[in-house]
Structure 1
Amino acid sequence: MSYSSIFRSRMKAKGANSYDRKMYNATRSFERWFNQSLARELVAIDNIEQYAVFQDHSQSNNKELSDDKYMITENKSNVKVGSVVNWRDSNWLVFTEEHKTIPTHKQTKVKESNHRIKWMIGDKVCNHGVGHHAYIQNQTLYTLGVSTSGHHGWIVDAKMMMYLQDNEETRNIKIGQRIFIGGAVYQIMFKDYVSRSGLINYLLEQDMINPSRDNIELEIADYYTALEDDFDDEIDGSNKEIVIRGSETAKIGSTNTFSAVVYDNGIETPEDITEWVVGDSEGVASVIGQTVKDITVRIESNFQKVGSVISIIGKTSDGAIGSKSVRIISPY
């Protein structure tokens, strides 16, 4: 083989053109950093062992809602939004995946699972008896935290937002189903598996514990009546449709108003919204005003929040619910 042939062969190995050669060098540079990083540790991502690098995420950027981390993996990693990561004997859920402009590796944001949820599927406990890892956040701060109940006036009514990996079992959780969280029982009001592909988020409303139905020791709701229950995806007010109007995107640093229109059998009604909830796992939105017709939120001016997703949820007095997903974008 001639010298020129050897030279061309070596150049092709590093890239046939200028872009490929720069990409090759950038990838080699990442591999050297990744293999030598002190933060590189062996983890299991969806039960597959591999190495990953973890970096701290400033809690001030998350209103100290959770101890988030950035996780960096090689491109060959199976990681995706919704993956469960076992790291240092703790389990973490992957919430966001950054789309790299120079794709030398994968970078995701993970949140530590703060609860394991169990429910009955027939006469068995879900996920072979061990339940599913969840990230749960109190949503009472984002709503009035009260609801009306008959003639008894205003009562405390805590809300929770729960995130679970999107899989066959979690998709089959029904509206109206009850689960235990931290010694209390909550009822599923709303679920969304579209706005954050790979994760399902559920809005939950506090319910009463019933010892004749619920196994308090195991923290499994409807444990004693699982074979009898037939949860339905319909709730009171199911003939109604609530349309949340407003932009599907919100720029960081902006103020946005979302309004609601209630339809009954396709006909617009003057009915009011009795509760607003902002599903906000990233701590990016602040409620600055709300009425029975609309809600106004301010988006934090922080470029690290670009790509976050919030949910605007409105509820009527008879339980009908409508929602809109809003993606946070750059102002430019």
Structure 2
Amino acid sequence: MSYLDKYKRNKPSSLRELRVSDTKKLFENHYRDTPSYFKVSSANNDLTYEMLINDSSDLKDQKSLTTSIDSLISLGETIDWNNEQWIVVHLDTNMGDIYKRGRMYQCLSQLKWIDDEGAIQSTWFTYYTSDMGSLGIKEGNVISLPDETRRLIIQNNEHTNKFEKDQRFIFDRSAWDINYIDRLKSGLIYIVLKQDQINLATDNMELGIADYDKLAKYEISILNGDMLAIKVGDSLQLNVKTTKNGTPVEIPLLFTSSDDSVASVSDTGLVSGIQKGSCSIQVSGKGVSTSIELNIIEELTPNYTAEILGEDSIYLNRTSTYTAIFRNNGSEIADTSRFWITALDGKSTDLAVIESQNPSSRTCVIKSNNNRKLGSFTLHVENSNGLSTGKKDIKVKSLI
């Protein structure tokens, strides 16, 4: 492309466009040299922004900002400036296509809560007055709000947009719930909180999270046994069980090996023996983790185990089905089963009986007694040659 073609291609279509382009370049080239220039980071994402930050008045918790028209900063965004958090409460983008300007208020603290999925969420907030006018704090003065009421500005995002009335929070050593919500201003939510009673049984005052009992409790279990062993060059698939509040769920998992030179593990939990040695394989997700020891050996010796799957309790005069899984060095093996029950001390019991069992499918059906006898018994299982054995304690409960 010739210089003339480049000129024609990039030539402004009007005098105004030319002047806007020149002014924009002038602004971007020189505003970095001013004393009020700062590079700040976002608390909501990984972006950084260049802007001018100045006092907008004698209110110390308010600042004005000016940034390039191409900046990706948005209304409601929280930025980290001078080791403090500030929320953008006003943003004017209609400034002649050259720059943006706005205002930001200093954040006072964070709201924390448990969302519908049982996960902890948080957002920064600042106060506003009832008339939404002057929101700042003058030098030497403090903001004055009516007792038992707090008015907050927060970012409107995918989590806060789900807020409804009576949503509860803990801050300022008190409990609060939402009495009023205003989502009319894009990017921001205005809420009014009224003071609520603290419930020490469910509110976590130390973490500042109300209704902490709603927190999802995730657990991860590796079902291949306590100790795994495979030969050099062989592979083994980990059998992982994940639960949320005791109910099986699927969650994203991360598998890692403590020594990749001994054994590697894939994203799906397939372990491969590299060389003779030992290491641990860790499985983590949703803030919890578990691990298992693994030996890589040249000659594999048998290590038989048995596991019984099923409920830990059964109601009076009810039935429940249990399944056995037999493994050798963590790998599942096909075999027949034999179940029997005893008291916890190994003696006979009348708390329950085995109503039926299917050796080929390795299942049995247990029926608890109808004599109102409560307590616990043990279900035993073994494979055809008796080398794989396992047991499970089961509690008989009342319906009342």
- CA positional deviation for 1:121: 2.0
SS in 1 for 2:50: strand
Q: Which runs of 5+ in 1 are unaligned?
A: 143-155, 228-332
Which has the larger helix fraction?
1
The structure whose Rg is larger is 2
**Is the contact between residue 14 and residue 24 of structure 1 (CA under 8 Å) also seen in structure 2?**
no
User: Which residue of 1 is the match for residue 61 of structure 2?
Assistant: 67
- Which of 22, 25, 32 matches 1:35? 32
User: Which residue of 2 is the match for residue 15 of structure 1?
Assistant: 12
The aligned runs of 1:63-102 (5 Å cut-off) are 64=59, 67-102=61-96
- Within 2, Cα distance between the matches of 1:19 and 1:132? 42
Read off the aligned partner of 2:24 and give its amino acid letter: T
The aligned runs of 1:1-332 (5 Å cut-off) are 13=10, 15-45=12-42, 46-59=45-58, 64=59, 67-122=61-116, 124-127=118-121, 131-137=122-128, 158-194=148-184, 196-224=185-213
- Within 2, Cα distance between the matches of 1:215 and 1:207? 14
- Within 2, Cα distance between the matches of 1:11 and 1:123? 57
Query: For residues 227-268 of structure 1, what are the alpha-carbon distances to aligned partners after superposition, in whole Å with 9 as ceiling and x for unaligned?
Result: 8xxxxxxxxxxxxxxxxxxxxxxxxxxxxxxxxxxxxxxxxx
- Within 2, Cα distance between the matches of 1:166 and 1:11? 44
Read off the aligned partner of 1:163 and give its amino acid letter: I
- Within 2, Cα distance between the matches of 1:78 and 1:51? 10
Distance 1:98-1:214 versus aligned 2 partners, 3 A rule: same
Structure with higher RCO (Cα < 8 A, 6+ apart):
1
- Within 1, Cα distance between the matches of 2:50 and 2:212? 39
- CA positional deviation for 1:115: 0.9
Tell me which stretches of 4 or more aligned residues in structure 1 moved more than 6 Å.
none
Distance 1:30-1:138 versus aligned 2 partners, 3 A rule: closer
Read off the aligned partner of 1:71 and give its amino acid letter: L
- Within 2, Cα distance between the matches of 1:26 and 1:106? 14
SS in 2 for 1:224: helix
- CA positional deviation for 1:209: 1.6
Distance 1:55-1:163 versus aligned 2 partners, 3 A rule: same
Read off the aligned partner of 1:132 and give its amino acid letter: T
What TM-score results when the alignment is normalised by the length of structure 2?
0.45
Which has the larger strand fraction?
2
- Within 1, Cα distance between the matches of 2:132 and 2:36? 35
- CA positional deviation for 1:36: 1.5
- Within 1, Cα distance between the matches of 2:28 and 2:131? 44
SS in 2 for 1:118: strand
**Is the contact between residue 117 and residue 134 of structure 1 (CA under 8 Å) also seen in structure 2?**
yes
What TM-score results when the alignment is normalised by the length of structure 1?
0.54
- Within 2, Cα distance between the matches of 1:188 and 1:91? 23
- CA positional deviation for 1:225: 5.4
Read off the aligned partner of 1:208 and give its amino acid letter: Q
- CA positional deviation for 1:53: 1.5
- Within 2, Cα distance between the matches of 1:141 and 1:36? 35
SS in 2 for 1:119: strand
Read off the aligned partner of 1:102 and give its amino acid letter: G
- CA positional deviation for 1:17: 2.4
- CA positional deviation for 1:15: 2.6
User: Which residue of 1 is the match for residue 291 of structure 2?
Assistant: none
